[in-house]
Amino acid sequence: MKTLESLAVHASDTPDELGAVVPPLYTSTTFRQTAPGEPGPYEYARMANPTRAMLEKTVATLENGAHGFAFATGLAACSTVLDLLDKDAHLIAVDDLYGGTRRLLEKVRQRTTGLTVSYIDPADLAGIEAAIRPNTRMIWVETPTNPLMKMADLSAIAAIAKRHKLISVVDNTFATPCLQRPIEHGFDVVLHSATKYLNGHSDVVAGVVVTSADAPEVSERLAFLQNAVGSVLDPYSSFMTVRGIKTLAIRMERHSENALKIAHWLEAQPGIKAVHYPGLESHPQHALAKRQMRAFGGMISVELNGDNDYVRRVVARLRIFTLAESLGGVESLICQPSVMTHAAMSPEQQREVGITPQLLRLSVGIENADELIADLAHAFTE
C-alpha cells in the first residue's frame, strides 16, 4: 500500500492468532520472562507496550519516518524532544508558536537548563541562518503556525539545519501527514499533538514524535529518553488514537474542503479585517502552501473589525461553533487566542507576533459547510 488513504486504515494491522480484524488492547503493565534477565519483545509497559507500539508504528508509517514514540500529551512530546539538548543550548524557533510550547521554552527550560531562544519569522530564511550561534543545536518550526497560519519552507529550513549540523524539528499538528510529510523535505523530527487531528474526536490527550531514518542518533536518544523520563502514553489512549487515525485521510479532506469554502466566504464579509488561511490566494505564502501541502487544512484565523466587546458578542451568538480550546476534532470550535490558547504570552509578546483581542481561531469541523457559514453569518449580524 502506498496511498495515505489506505495506509491510514491499514498501517496498524497486526497479526492476531484469533484472526481479529481490530487488534486487541493490551493493558498489562508487565510481561513474562523466559528466565531472569531474558525478556521477550516486551518487558515492562513504560519501556514498551504492544498497543502503544501499534500507534507508534502507524504514525511513523504515515510520516514516512523510521521510528515513532508516543507520549502522554503533546507537551510531553515537546518536552522530551527538548531533552535532546544539553544545558545552555540555543534554539531557533519560528515567532508564531502554540502558547504552551512558548511557555515551556521560556518559563521552564530557560530556568532549568539555561536554554536560550531566538524567535524568527518563518519566511525570513536569511534571518534564521543569521541567528545561528556557536551553541545553537536545534531549529523548531510550526507550519502552518498557530494561530496566524504562517508558512515555513520545509525544504529550505531543513537544508539550513543540515549545513550547520542542527537538529530540525517540526510540529506537524495542523497539517498531519495527510497534507504534508516534513521528513520527505529533510526534517529530522516530526511531532504531533495527537489530541488533535490524529485522534480527531476530542476524547484523547496524546503526543507522538517520529524520527527520520537519516537521524539514527536522534532516534536512539529519544528511545532512551522516552523510557528514562517516562511520560509515555497509556494503552487505552493509544488504542483510541489508532482507531481515530483510520478515518484521518477522509476527515482531513472534509476539514480542508469546509475551511476553504468558509475562508472564501469570510474574506468577502465587510466586518472582517483579515483572514489568515494558506488556501487563499491573498495569503502571502499561498504559492509555498500549494507547493508543500496536498490541501490546506481545517484551521483559519480571522481578525474582526471591532472592540473586545464586539468579539465577545460574536462568539456568544454562535450555535454550531463551540467556544473551546483545542482543535482538530470532528466538531467545529472557535477560540480567542489572546485570552485562551496563547494567554501565557505577555501582551507585549502578543503584539510583537500579531495576536490581538480581535483575532479568533476557527477549527473547522466536518459538519455541513453551508450550515457553518450560516452560523457565522448570524453571529456577525448586529
Residues with catalytic roles: 46, 98, 171, 196
The dihedral over CA atoms of 156, 211, 237, 18, expressed in degrees to the nearest 10, equals 130
Number of H helices, E strands in the chain: 15, 12
Cell of 47: 519501556
Question: How far apart are the C-alpha atoms of 51 and 368, rounded to whole Å?
Answer: 34
Closest CA to 86 of 225, 232, 230, 233: 225
Order of strands, sheet of 67-71, starting from the edge strand that comes earlier in the sequence: 67-71, 207-211, 189-193, 167-171, 136-142, 90-94, 116-120
Residue 320 CA: distances (Å) to CA of 196, 222, 303, 323, 349: 19, 41, 20, 10, 32
Can you say whether the dihedral through the CA atoms of 232, 236, 239, 243 is positive or negative? negative
Cell of 97: 508558536
User: Rounded to 5 degrees, what angle do the CA atoms 59, 152, 346 make?
Assistant: 100
Please identify which residue in the block is written with the cell numbers 487531528. 197
DSSP-derived secondary structure for 337-368: TTTTTTTTS-HHHHHHHT--TTEEEEE--SS-
User: Rounded to 5 degrees, what angle do the CA atoms 80, 83, 89 make?
Assistant: 140
Contact 190, 304 (CB under 8 A): no
Question: How far apart are the C-alpha atoms of 377 and 382, rounded to whole Å?
Answer: 10
Contact 272, 303 (CB under 8 A): yes
